[in-house]
Amino acid sequence: MDETGLTRHEASNVKRETGRKDSKHTRLGYNEDHAKSGITASLPGIETFSNQYKGYEITIEIPEYTAICPKTGLPDFGTITLHYMPDKECLELKSLKMYLHAYRNLGIFYENAVNRILHDVVKACRPVWARVTGEFTARGGLSSKIEASYP
């Protein structure tokens, strides 16, 4: 295998098919546009309210998360769990719900969705710490669990 993870034979085929050693597409047709899909999409803002206490944790479970696979256009389903310790601000749940519902029509990979949600939550409320976990329903016999943490 070479540095791309391809065997010599596979790398040779890529070079022969494309005229160069590395291709912008994977063997299954994934490309950079698929990889970046949804990362910078415009989504509703997440509102906050002033926290009145210190030293406690909040867990929010979203059991009906849906998005669209940017490669196939098929829906993805899963449960998003947000666990955080608020500092000066807490997340307002109705705006969080509207934010998460906006993913329903968004083409985005699981990994990007979980990291984007964490990024947007941290930007909105600046928690002491936060963790977002996405548990996605099985497709093709595989299920995925993605976790992202701050800091």
Q: How far apart are CA 115 and CA 108, in angstroms?
A: 11
For 84, the enclosing helix (H) or strand (E) is strand 75-85
Instruction: Indicate the SS3 state at residue 12.
Output: helix
Q: What pLDDT is stored for residue 77 in this prediction? A: 96
pLDDT tens sequence across 23-81: 478 887 888 988 899 999 999 999 999 999 999 999 999 999 999 999 999 999 999 99
DSSP string, 58-80: EEEEEEEEEEE-TTT--EEEEEE
Residues 6+ apart with CB under 8 A from 44: 95, 98, 99, 102
22 included as an active-site residue: no
Q: What pLDDT is stored for residue 1 in this prediction? A: 39
Q: Place 10 in a pLDDT band, splitting at 50, 70 and 90.
A: very low
125 included as an active-site residue: no
> Which one of the listed residues 22, 33, 69, 120 is annotated catalytic?
69
Residue 122 has pLDDT above 80, yes or no: yes
pLDDT tens sequence across 126-147: 999 999 999 999 888 899 999 9
Q: What pLDDT is stored for residue 107 in this prediction? A: 96
Q: Place 7 in a pLDDT band, splitting at 50, 70 and 90.
A: very low
CATH class of 41-150: alpha beta
Domain residues of the chain, as ranges? Answer: 1-30, 41-150
> Which one of the listed residues 2, 76, 90, 120 is annotated catalytic?
76
Residue 18 has pLDDT above 70, yes or no: no
Q: What pLDDT is stored for residue 26 in this prediction? A: 86
Strand pairing partners for 68?
75, 107
